[in-house]
Amino acid sequence: MVALNLLEKRAGYLNTGTWSDKAIKEAKIYDDIYEVASSKSANFNYIPKGYDIPEDYDYFHCTSNNTIFGTQMKSFPNSPIPMVCDMSSDIFSRQLDFSQFDIIYAGAQKNMGPAGTTLVVVKEDVLGKVSRKIPSMMDYKVHIGKGSMFNTPPVFAVYVSMLTMQWLKDKGGIKAIEEENEKKARLIYSEIDLNPLFKGFAVKEDRSNMNATFTLENENLKETFDAMWKEAGINGLNGHRSVGGYRASMYNALSLDSVKVLVEVMSDLESKA
């Protein structure tokens, strides 16, 4: 939808993982897409820096957090053109200067609510500048004009998202949840760095607070480790097939105590090895 609403001639994309790669593929259907930078050659284990954003492009697109590879943009460029960001996997997890973005879009399924609805935040003055005819369902101006009620909304997903926002507000808001997320991240990454049996996948300065990716230094311990974390009641720790190893997803709803359980299992493995 972003490409349909903003892309007239060409756009620049920062390629930092699977979801930005897919966004680039889809945008190329409509016009000329330029990768301003990419970490694909390193299997997306870092966030590119020091790149230039062409001023004559229609917009710049980035993905704030990369779930599969465990990287996260800790800062954002001062873009001379409208900046679009996919924040699906870390929306509401940290404080940002949201005014620097022209469009933010995010699936609800990580920190906001169940799958089935999407949050889109738009500066209206970036719309209405493309010459192509946009299908009504894909046109942000149509949705804005109808007060986000152009079609029957997914009521349950929207309602649960509202409850989640109230839960977040009751906890102290984004500032409070950011502090909690940082504690969780420090705990797991400290164990990864200090425990000789494990190695982090992502470059340290770009590590995600939402998704910690790591591998075993000795694959002969995999069967033992897998049995230990499953016995501890941990689910879904296996990494994506494109990375291997393990991925600990620590979205807002995951408690610090849950991370402590995993760290204890990792520590126990070291004592048994």
pLDDT in tens, 99-126: 999 999 999 999 999 999 999 999 999 9
Q: What is the mean pLDDT of the segment spanning 257-267? A: 98
The pTM (predicted TM-score) of the whole model is 0.95
* CA angle at 191 for the pair 189 and 197, rounded to the nearest 5°: 115
Domain with CATH 3.90.1150.10 in the chain: 173-272
Closest CA to 111 of 180, 203, 13: 180
The token pair that represents 81 in the structure block: 């053109």
The token pair that represents 238 in the structure block: 């296996």
Antiparallel, parallel or unpaired: β 83-86 and 32-38: unpaired
pLDDT tier at 1 (50, 70, 90 boundaries)? confident
Which residues are designated catalytic?
Answer: 19, 86, 110
- Inform me whether the pLDDT recorded for 165 exceeds 90: yes
Kindly report the three-state secondary structure assignment for every residue of 82-151. Answer: CEEEECCCCCCCCCCCHHHCCEEEEECCCCCCCCCCEEEEECHHHCCCCCCCCCHHHCHHHHHHCCCCCC
- Of all helices (H) and strands (E), which one includes residue 14? strand 10-15
Would you identify the CATH topology of the domain 2-168? Aspartate Aminotransferase; domain 2 (3.40.640)
Q: List strand residue ranges (DSSP E) for 226-270, in order.
A: 246-249
pLDDT at position 224, please? 97
The b/e string for 6-45 (b: 16+ C-beta within 10 A; e otherwise) is bbeeebbbbbbbbbbbebbeebeeeeebeebbbbeeeebb
- Inform me whether the pLDDT recorded for 241 exceeds 90: no
CATH of 173-272, one of 3.40.718.10, 3.90.1150.10, 3.10.150.10, 1.20.120.1810: 3.90.1150.10
Domain with CATH 3.40.640.10 in the chain: 2-168
pLDDT at position 4, please? 92
pLDDT tier at 259 (50, 70, 90 boundaries)? very high
Q: Could you tell me if 88 and 208 are in contact, meaning their C-beta atoms sit under 8 angstroms apart?
A: no
pLDDT in tens, 47-82: 999 999 999 999 999 999 999 999 999 999 999 999
